[in-house]
Structure 1
Amino acid sequence: MLTPIAHTPADGCSPPHLLDEHLRKVGELAASFAAPAWADWARQAGRWHDLGKYDPAFQDYIRRDSGYEAHLLDGQPSHPSHSLAGAQHALLTQPKFGRLLAYLIAGHHTGLPDGPAEYQGAASLSHRLAQGPQALADALRADIPADLLAATPLTLNPQAIGGKDGLHLWLRLVFSCLVDADFLDSEAYFQPEQAQQRRPPPDLADLRARLDAYLADKHAHAAPSAVNSVRADVLRQCREQAQQPPGCYTLTVPTGGGKTLSSLAFALEHALAHGKRRVIYAIPYTSIIEQTAEVFRAALGDDAVLEHHSSLDVEHETVHSRLAAENWDASVIVTTNVQLFESLFAARTSRCRKLHRLVDSVIVLDEAQLLPIPYLQPLLDALRLLTEHYGVTLLLCTATQPALHTRSNSFGHIQLRGLDARRAIIQREAQLYQQLARVRLHLPADLDARQSWADIARQISQHPSVLVIVNTRQHCRELHALLPEGTFHLSALMCAEHRSQQIADIRQRLARGESVRVVSTTLIEAGVDVDFPVVFRALAGLDSIAQAAGRCNREGRLPHGDVHVFVPPDPSPLGWQRAAEEAARTVLGQCGADALAPDAMQRYFNHYYGKAGQAGFDREGLHALLTQHAGQGEIFFRTAAERMRLIDNAHTVAVIVPYTRQDGEHRRDSHALRRRLQAGEMHRDLLRQLQRFTVSLPQSQFEWLRRAGELEEIYRDIWWVKNDVMYDEKRGLLVREIEAANPE
């Protein structure tokens, strides 16, 4: 009888990957990734995940269809399943915990399934396990080594994982260990050269030394000023508080107070003091990520920072960073909120693969006030589980700390389970606010009286250098048309490559002391480092107004900057934005020019959460899907993953726009990239480069362009804007402004 194999080589010549060897290696590798308390679970899952490959029929199939794809196509039409035998074996030999192991084994290629068949039908674990007895019987026709079939006694302390409410996250973490081990062992066979390029990330002690040297040099060359004195004090407090026990911390520093590097110093100091393995920095917008990653690279070195987001400029990507992005095997990771939070609720193997790297880490949530209200409860629940059970220290970093404590209604019923055990790093936040107060806030006489764009444009035009921030793309387009020639326009109707160029041009002109007028959507206000003497902000949430104020007199070079709040012709879009505007109107009316003070901000968030929370902090019912029947081993993994969409891609379509950027001798041209794709070139690097030239449109706008004949499908579901005149070098994609079907 032929020796059972796990994989056969694509070239048909190399020795096959032996199945016994693969199962043992994956088991041990998965166990090494897991915490000691659940290493046996990961090892057991690893040893049983491919038991179905012992089936003689599968051995015939895999010898016929060689290569990695044959390994991945588990259970798809015309491809036999190899995961159900191990899942069935778990049910039979682990009567108490077999169903939990079955989730991991059955989903190790196709993703974690729903337990019940209610939403996913044939894809559910219950439906698939109906085929399990036959699959196991077929596998047992082979002579499987007894040690591989042996069942290790498993234990599970419910209190250690947060009870039944924490079971779904714990299973994802064990699943992460399994799929990462399976990927890595398969890679070592199919792509040994690539596997050898993986290398250990830099040591955290070395990174702290680099940061210390960078900050010392920065301090030595900083001009004496009140702002720099405050920044030095913030850094000192962060370093001191880093010695405190792990848990949940807040860093509330007004914009311009140096919280980016100070929070990094806290994270590295705390990680070294308490044996944490890595620092993960999650940021809401890609424009801030690119800026933050550049700051961190300058401080720590290019080899130290993994930048992981969809709009990554491939110039910053190396072979090592690309490999590390697959499983976050890095020391410092800068990523998006979307990447982090959707992974915490993911079912797909590629998304879950990195999750075990969260254990014993420091997670910094930058701009924490932007946590999405419709998903706030499941997000806070997951963050609490990480801090209480998985050695995570969480740092909520913002200029406007949200009120994330537990909230109850007037009847005493809990509306929001918050993060109550938080430690403030800055001891005298109100005093710090006074020290960094660099602007005067100007409010309209009547916060209910709407102004026309023509009146607003006349006020703005009186200022030679001014930043204007509005609430929607349409408002940005309308106001820009009324402002003097040469005014910059920034919105998400411009591709990332175009926006980056515009922001760089704006900074250069400001640095030269030139007059600069900019009208922008909210993409500029949260963390983008620009400094204007005057800022105009359309009425919005008070946290947004405070962020806009952070772009005014940022370095404190003027006695004061001026921030003007105006009431635009139209209200904010329905949903959380409208609730934020209404809460801000209330607090602005009560506090006037002092509305940016910490106590006023807390009052605002209480109003805001009261209004926004009326629609619920768990709009998609994720908590019930993941916990309601978890005590019986029934969890809706896949349905919850489909409903956790911080960006609603179901109602938007990305299109590639015709844009060329000439940067010195370096030319970036979407036309050239499009031609390569149409010529048959299809690989990850090309798609990443094309991502920099995309604009996301509401479904209604996409359909209008498609019907008008302005779009061409250049590859399956990849759309190109055919006419160059549809993309303006100042304003981006020119589309008819049609309100999206789902304005929220």
Structure 2
Amino acid sequence: MEGSREEGAHFPDAAPEYVAHISEDGERVESVETHLRQVAQLASTFADDFGAASWAYAAGIAHDIGKFSLAFQRRILHDGPKVDHSTAGAAELSKYAAGMLSYCVAGHHGGLPNGGTILDDGGTLLGRLNAAERNAIPDYSSYRNEITLSCPDAPRFSVIPSDNESGAFSTSFMTRMVFSCLVDADFLCTEAFMNNAGRQGVEGDSLEVLRDRIEKHLQSFYPPRTWVNEIRCSLLDDCLTASSQQPGVFSLTAPTGSGKTWGLLRFALNHACSQSKPMRRVICAIPYTSIIEQNAQEYRTVLGAENVLEHHSSFDYGESDDPKDLGYRLRLAAENWDAPVVVTTNVQLFESLYASKTSRCRKLHNIANSVILLDEAQMIPVKYLKPCVKALSELVNNYGCSVVLCTATQPCLDGFFAEEGHEVREIAANPAALATALSRVRYQSDGAVADDALAQSLLGQHQALCIVNSRKQARALYDKLAEQSKDGLFHLTTMMHPLHRQKKIAEIKALLDAGQRCVVVATCLVEAGVDFDFPVVYRAVSGVDSLVQAGGRCNREGKREKGASIVHVFTPADHYVVPAEVEQRAAVAQSVMPSLLSASDSCLEVEDAVPAYFNRLYKAKGERELDAKNVVPRMSQLDPRRSPRDGSPICVFPFSDVGSDFKLIEEGSFPLVIPCEENEGAIERARSGLLTRGDQRLLSRYTVSIYLNDLKALDGVGAIEPLSASTYILLDRQSYRDDVGLDIAREGGDALFC
């Protein structure tokens, strides 16, 4: 590279000819060859867990060969113009029957690209390979003096597309997993060079140590001293017994109050340690942050804070950059889930499995050889049911994972897993007997009930919970009740920010424990992760699973007679706009339980209707609605295009498009920050463009989601101002009340929120 450096530039005397990185102080440089070999070795170590070490090594050794170009050296050494350095490696790998690795290398900065068409001129993988064929990228041929590329060995299972869709899906999935190994290794190696030190992550204990800790903790549960504890210990025993089975797909069907939180962890840790090849971590995915926070805290108490990574948007790791600080180390671990026990959201897990962006994909290789616990499994969105089952099955089939579906209302996924070759094995020895033993409520249909009559019934109760399907009805009922008395009256919806709801929930629990008057009108947000114990519950008709979840808030501790603990199921006589999904679920529930349509004093056998409900719901949805974004077919295409260089096969997968489309939480709402004394500093820093990570997490706990029509209404009266491109702050503090939260009485889409 003689003559390529400008006169007057200052570099260490022993600087290599081809530079990959320069330290921030300019005192150290890293050669391209050194960086490539380090990344290749680390990536192959990551991929060894699923038999693809050779493929990950090939991706790592090729990913930055574009840095052997003079154009890139001008960029890094003399602040020259930006240059494409990732297409080079993708083009070279396409020559070695390793076309799928071309996706990984091409996307190692910007994310996995779409495959595209042979006519593309850029952006897609084939477009970029076309550019390489036209010599439209800088010459990188000098790499041959330092790096040797070759065809990687075959992985443990085939990643070459077979003649069926399942084989093609496995190919696309393997591509994403190898991509994860590459981008995580690239990030970690670059970070180590820039910091002149390796990462100090969490120093977690082995799963064997954690297993022993939970076993020691559970010994205090024995011998059981009450009939409820006897049942809980029985379930714990079932979890221990089942844990010695071979990896696969399991279910844990256990009602509220059965102790399944500890049972799940007992099964997971013992199962992981009992295998001939011990598994590496436990990942618990939960739909609600309220349950995550509760479970993670309990796990930390027993397992130790260093061993439990709580990963969701509002968890505060702190701002410290001191490697000795646990929060700092956990924040780093959240980037790639490098911790023994991970407690996270369904969104983080499932969206990552179909992501294309590097930040989301880094963690994927660390999911291999894990026990994956899906708590409240019925909350897997129906519109993504088939892609979720497909990805979970792939993890079990080829990546050494076990999956546990845990809920009181199993969503009947046996048939879907059977299509993927898996029998779902039940952990509880006798789920029906367990449900009967812990049955603590009686369900009764009240037929159609108007708000006025419902309000009168609630006023006649000393303690009662009423759950409805829209925020609008919750507000209307609350107002009717408040006209009579606000004594012990509460309103809970997502029109209150999370910390506000937490405060109200604590107040409600205190009143319930003290036996004082307490009447709560709420939406479905109280149906999971909120440990209420009311003597009577009213529930607007919805899916059977929702009715059972509502029943879990009634006589929760079993201290009252079952016959006197009634869940009143009613059909709102007043008209409220509710989501089409809620209407469909209610209709399916009524079809399997016709008695829901009329008033009856007889007992409704709600729990018995759960299997029939889910089977009919899936049939009503049809194949298309169980994969609403057509994800599985798009990731299972059998139309292999040919490399423009040598005709080797490159399957065309729309990685980028699928990553954008696969969103468990649909967009369409806007975060509105509610100002208060506690977040004033964060708001001011946001206005000044100095928002920190901690500020973002803090503000998320004071945020209400609203729809566009409400946003426009507030903006029209000058009640809000933009805080960022997509976030707003409430200026009119009178619009936020302590009893109801954000006070917007409007027609429109606000019914879509709980």
SS at the partner of 1:482?
A: helix
Q: Which residue of 1 aligns with 2:442?
A: 440
For residue 443 of structure 1, give the secondary structure of its aligned residue in structure 2: strand
User: 1:363·1:394 contact (CA, 8 Å) conserved in 2?
Assistant: yes
Name the amino acid aligned to 1:690: L
1:205 maps to: 208
**Aligned-partner SS, 2:723:** strand
Alignment equivalent of 2:34, drawn from 21, 34, 37: 21
Deviations 1:139-174 (A, max 9, x none): 435364444444445557438995112211111111
Is the aligned partner of 1:174 residue 2:178? yes
- Mapped to 2, the partners of 1:616 and 1:170 lie a distance apart of 26
**What is the identity, as a one-letter code, of the residue corresponding to 2:72?**
F
Alignment partner, residue 477 of structure 1 = 475
Q: Given the alignment of the two structures, is residue 401 of structure 1 paired with residue 410 of structure 2, yes or no?
A: yes
* SS of alignment partner, residue 586 of structure 1: helix
1:657 aligns with 2:674: yes
Q: Using the TM superposition, give the Cα deviation of residue 255 of structure 1 relative to its aligned residue in structure 2, in angstroms.
A: 0.9
Give the letter for the 1:105 counterpart.
Answer: V
Matches within 5 A, 1:55-454: 55-65=69-79, 79-92=82-95, 94=96, 96-97=97-98, 99-117=99-117, 122-133=122-133, 138-142=138-142, 144-154=144-154, 157-158=157-158, 163-192=167-196, 195-219=198-222, 224-274=225-275, 275-314=278-317, 318-406=327-415, 417=419, 421-444=423-446, 446=447, 449=448, 451-454=449-452
Q: Give the secondary-structure state (helix, strand or coil) at the position aligned to 1:402.
A: coil
Match of residue 9 from structure 1: 23
State the Cα distance separating 1:654 from its structure 2 match. Answer: 1.2
Are residues 1:53 and 2:54 paired? no
Query: What is the total number of aligned residue pairs between the two structures?
Result: 706
Moved more, 154-163 or 505-514: 154-163
Aligned to 1:131, the other structure's residue is in SS state helix
Match of 2:644 in 1: none
SS of equivalent to 2:480: coil
Determine the C-alpha separation between the residues in 1 that align with 2:537 and 2:167. 50
Q: CA deviation at 1:17?
A: 2.1
What per-residue deviation string (whole Å, max 9, x for no partner) do you get for residues 512-559 of structure 1? 333322221111102322211111111111100100101111111112
Check conservation: 2:355, 2:659, Cα contact below 8 A. Answer: yes
Q: Which aligned pairs between 1:623-662 and structure 2 lie closer than 5 A? A: 623-629=632-638, 631-632=640-641, 633-649=651-667, 651-660=668-677
Q: CA deviation at 1:670?
A: 2.0
2:455 counterpart of 1:457? yes
- For 2:291 and 2:422, the matched residues in 1 are separated by 28
- For residues 256 and 285 of structure 2, what CA distance do their matches in structure 1 show? 18
| Identity between Structure 1 and Structure 2 (%) | 37
Q: Secondary structure at the match of 2:664?
A: coil
Q: CA deviation at 1:302?
A: 1.8
Residue 509 (structure 1) aligns with = 511
Residue 252 of structure 2 aligns to a residue whose secondary structure is: strand
TM-superposed deviation, 1:52 = 0.7
Any idea what SS the aligned residue of 1:104 has? helix
Q: Which residue of 2 aligns with 1:500?
A: 502
In 1, are the aligned partners of 2:544 and 2:609 still within 8 Å (CA)? Answer: no
Matched, 1:564 2:568: yes
Cα distance, 1:707 vs structure 2? 3.0
* Alignment match, 1:693: 702
Query: Quick one: structure 1 residues 553 and 111, their matched pair in 2 at CA, closer, same or farther if it must change by over 3 Å?
Result: same
Q: Which amino acid aligns with 1:605?
A: F
Compute the displacement of 1:424 (Å): 0.8
Per-residue deviation, residues 357-382 of structure 1 (Å, max 9, x unmatched): 11110001111111111111111111
* Alpha-carbon contact 1:359-1:386 (below 8 Å) kept: yes
Give the conservation status (yes or no) of the 8 Å contact 2:316–2:697. yes
Alignment partner, residue 466 of structure 1: 464
SS of match in other structure, 2:333: helix
**Does the CA contact (< 8 Å) of 1:369 and 1:398 recur in 2?**
yes
Shift of 1:89: 1.1
What amino acid sits opposite 1:731 in the alignment?
A: V
Is 1:583 aligned to residue 584 of structure 2?
Answer: no
Q: Deviations over 1:117-143 (max 9, x none)?
A: 599984211112222246697343536
2:202 and 2:682 map into 1 onto residues whose CA distance is 31
8 Å CA contact retained: 2:287, 2:346:
yes
2:309, 2:342 within 8 Å by CA — same for their partners in 1?
yes
Give the 3 Å change call, closer, same or farther, for CA 288–142 of structure 1 in structure 2.
Answer: same
Equivalent pair of 1:625/1:635 in contact (CA under 8 Å): yes
3-state SS of the aligned residue for 2:411? coil
> RMSD between aligned alpha carbons?
2.6
Deviates more, 1:420-429 or 1:540-549: 420-429
Shift in Å, 1:694: 1.4
Residues 35-54 of structure 1 mapped to structure 2, 5 A cutoff: 35=49, 37-54=51-68
Which residue does 1:71 correspond to in 2? none
Pairwise CA distance, 1:235: 0.5
Q: 1:454 to 1:53 in 2, by over 3 A?
A: same
Deviations 1:707-732 (A, max 9, x none): 33222123343321112112212211
Q: Secondary structure at the match of 1:499?
A: helix
Distance 1:332 1:464, change over 3 A: same
Measure how far apart 1:58 and its partner are. Answer: 0.7
Q: TM-score, normalised by structure 2?
A: 0.88
Gaps of 5+ in 2: 3-15, 320-325, 642-650
> Aligned equivalents of 1:136 and 1:217: distance in 2?
69
Distance in 1, matches of 2:554 and 2:258, equals 13
SS in 2 for 1:24: helix
Cα separation, partners in 2 of 1:578 and 1:343, compared to 1, 3 Å: same
Amino acid at match of 2:211: R
| Residue 411 of structure 1: aligned partner | none
Q: Structure 1 length normalisation: TM-score? A: 0.90
Greater CA deviation, 543-552 or 373-382? 373-382
**Contact 1:291–1:528 (CA under 8 A) maintained in structure 2:** no
Shift, 1:469, TM fit: 1.3
For the residues of structure 1 that align with 2:454 and 2:514, how far apart are their CA atoms?
27
d(CA) in 2 for partners of 1:160, 1:629: 11
Structure 2 residue aligned with 1:69: none
C-alpha separation in 1, matches of 2:239 and 2:654: 41
CA distance, structure 2, for counterparts of residue 156 and residue 468 of structure 1 = 55
Q: Distance in 2 between matches of 1:437 and 1:200?
A: 43
Q: Partners of 2:73 and 2:507 in 1: how far apart?
A: 61
Alpha carbons of structure 1 residues 570 and 615: separation in structure 2 relative to 1, 3 Å? farther
1:15-50 per-residue CA deviation (whole Å, 9 max, x = no partner) reads 012211111000000000013521011011011111
